[in-house]
Copies of this chain bind each other. A is one copy, B any other.
Amino acid sequence: MDKVKVGILGGSGYTAVELIKLLLRHPGAEIAAITSRQDEHIAELHPSLLGRLDVRCQPFDPDALAAKGIQCAFGCLPHGTSMESIPPLLERGMRVIDLSADYRLRDAKVYEEWYKEKHHDPANLAHAVYGLPEVYGDYINGAKLVANPGCYPQPAILGLAPLVAKKLIELSGIVIDSKSGVSGAGRTPQLPYHFPECNESVSAYSVGTHRHTPEIEQALSDIASAPVSVIFTPHLMPMDRGIFSTIYATPTRVIIEPELMELYRSYFSDKPFVRVRTNLPATKDTAGTNFLDVCVKLVRGKVVVLSAEDNLVRGASGVAVQNFNRMFGFDERTGLM
């Protein structure tokens, strides 16, 4: 089979370089173009790619991408910019996996409420599929536009999915306490991410206002077929990568831990990237992989779910490749094990 020609939009950030490394190992993908405002060789932007990929970044130009035969574009652009760049690619017949937030929230009003800007592409928003394969698997296979999920939502949604699917917990007031490495903040230098500021420190941020909140609620409400609301608190950890989420929920009936464990095992039995663990997870066990580890406990009458992932792989570029695999007919695991 011929390799699928892929293009990467916005090559300078962390999700782009992670995606490039994954695609370089993928037997069915060929990186045919990378766009960036920085007109440089990709190894100038990311010295780790020296000797691995010989591509020079080019300005974003839909016709040039089409001329190169790009079949799949991965969007690694900031939100806001994404919804400007993606429509012309879809028009030219490319399929798109967008790693920004622009097509994740089905309701443009919710987008505007949380992102404080108007949605400019409601037409494509209407058919975009939320790219969480364990939940929206079949929809992804045939999608033209996949909205790759955010880093925080995945351990939150998958950690709660078995419980809300069975309505075993109260659907409001769910507490999601998440801890993330600094790469989640992107590659633009800012004081909070300056090494001597965040190293050797733990802090919370965006308490009650983080934009991943509605994304978590949208997917959980889909799974529950009922409105779900959460209290989501993100924290910054002094490490490069990894998200650990500790989730507290109130059961709706008497339940015992073995029943919970069995429920999780069963729910994820055919999901190769979710590892249900009997011992407690650690982000390091998932580092560099597309696995999402989950463990469920009962503590003094509350269900406590602990889930971990690599925010750059599972939380962004790895799940993007998983979506790519589904869209282009590869085994879901290709290039990811």
Contacts and interface: CB of A to CB of B under 8 A. Distances in A.
A276 B201 CA distance: 19
A191 interface: yes
A185 B282 CA distance: 17
Interface stretch (A59-67, A104-112, A145-153, A172-180): A172-180
Contacts of A205: 280
A225 B179 CA distance: 34
Contacts of A291: 50-51
A207 B304 contact: yes
B275 A51 contact: yes
A246 B235 contact: yes
Given A191-B189, A237-B237, A284-B200, A207 B306 contact: yes
Interface string A222-247: 00000001010101011111101010
Interface of A: 14, 24-25, 47-48, 50-52, 173, 175, 177, 179, 181-183, 187-191, 193-205, 207-208, 229, 231, 233, 235, 237-242, 244, 246, 248, 250, 272, 275, 277, 279-289, 291, 293, 297-302, 304, 306, 308, 337
Nearest to A237: B202
Contacts of A194: 187-189, 193-195
B200 A240 contact: yes
A38 to B, nearest CB: 12
Contacts of A298: 208
A325 B239 CA distance: 35
16 contacts: A47-B282, A50-B275, A51-B272, A175-B175, A177-B246, A181-B196, A182-B196, A187-B196, A194-B194, A202-B237, A202-B282, A203-B244, A203-B281, A208-B298, A208-B304, A235-B244
A270 to B, nearest CB: 13
A199 B14 CA distance: 14
A180 to B, nearest CB: 9
Contacts of A283: 200-203
B237 A175 contact: no
B239 A238 contact: yes
Most B Cβ at <10 Å: residue of A50, A195, A300: A195
A177 B47 CA distance: 23
Contacts of A196: 14, 181-183, 187, 193, 240-241
B200 A182 contact: no
Contacts of A177: 175, 177, 246, 248
Given A188-B194, A202-B242, A204-B306, 14 more contacts: A48-B285, A50-B285, A173-B300, A179-B235, A182-B196, A187-B194, A199-B199, A200-B284, A201-B242, A203-B281, A208-B298, A231-B248, A233-B304, A237-B237
